Structures are given as structure tokens and as C-alpha cells.
Amino acid sequence: MDQGEKWNVEQKKSENEHEQDKKYIENERQKVRIRN
């Protein structure tokens, strides 16, 4: 695997983590809304 490929894999991984963070934040926001 060359540097370019490795970078692509890292990039995808971090994008995926970012997506999960967004979902998590959305869920937290909705929990707060329900409580109030």
C-alpha cells in the first residue's frame, strides 16, 4: 500500500468518525429538547 492509498484510508476513517460525532450530537440535542 503506497502513501496515497494509506492517506485515503485515513481520510475515510476520519470522515466516518465525524459522521458518528454529528449523529451523537444530534441525539444529545434531541434528548435535551425532550427534557425541556
pTM (whole model) above 0.75: no
* Averaged pLDDT, 11-17: 94
Residues 6+ apart with CB under 8 A from 1: 9
Per the listing, cell 475515510 goes with 12
* Averaged pLDDT, 8-31: 94
Residue 8: band (very low, low, confident or very high) from pLDDT cuts 50, 70, 90: very high
Residue 21: band (very low, low, confident or very high) from pLDDT cuts 50, 70, 90: very high
- Measured distance CA(12)–CA(7) in Å, rounded: 9
